[in-house]
Structure formats: C-alpha cells, structure tokens
Amino acid sequence: MNADDFVGGHSILALERFMDETRHMIIFDVLSWKSPVGEKGERLRLFLSDVGYAKAQASERRGEIKIRKQAAVIEGHILPDRKKRRH
C-alpha cells in the first residue's frame, strides 16, 4: 500500500457499519475547505444513513467532495455497486 491508498474516516470495521440505519458506504476525496467533513486533499470513508448519503450527494453537487466509490450496506454487509452491462 502506498500513501495514495490511505483512506481516513471510518475504518472498514467501524461500529457505524453495523448500525441499523446504515445503508451506504462511500469513499470520497475532499476538494474544498468548505467541506463539512475532512480537510482539502483527504480521502475518506464513511458509513451513512439514507439522510447522510443525501447530504454527501448535495456536498458533491456543490463541488466540496468527489465520491469515488459507493456501496450499499445491508446488516453490515457491503454490497458494491455493479456497473450495468451493455449488450
């Protein structure tokens, strides 16, 4: 693992992952000092409820963060988004 692979925020086994309301895991880059979470230049992982995920999407639309990866979380299990195949 090199320095570019470091992800701050919640650890992969964070308690937040297993909370009943948790539905999403995101890994994102902080692009602005105005971001409500983290500092510019950081890459973070968060486990979020539907409300928290909506807030993260709004932050991305404002240009504060860039969501790099998103996965659904069901009962603590991480289910990565699958890209739709074109036939």
Over residues 38-77, the pLDDT tens digits come to: 999 999 999 999 999 999 999 999 999 999 999 999 999 9
76 is a domain residue:
yes
87 is a domain residue:
no
The model's pTM: 0.85
Residues 14, 46: Cα–Cα separation, whole Å: 9
The number of angstroms, rounded, from the C-alpha of 29 to the middle of its chain's C-alpha atoms is 9
Residue 3 has pLDDT above 50, yes or no: no
20 is a domain residue:
yes
pLDDT number for residue 28:
97
Read off the pLDDT of each residue in 26-39 and give the average, rounded to a whole number: 94
Give every CB contact of residue 16 below 8 A, 6+ residues apart in sequence. 10, 22, 46, 47
86 is a domain residue:
no
71 is a domain residue:
yes
Per the structure, the count of domains in the chain is 1
Q: What percent of the chain has pLDDT above 90? A: 78
pLDDT number for residue 64:
97
Output 86 or 46, whichever has higher pLDDT.
46
For residue 19, give its domain range: 3-80
Residues 61, 54: Cα–Cα separation, whole Å: 11
Helix (H) or strand (E) holding 50: helix 50-61
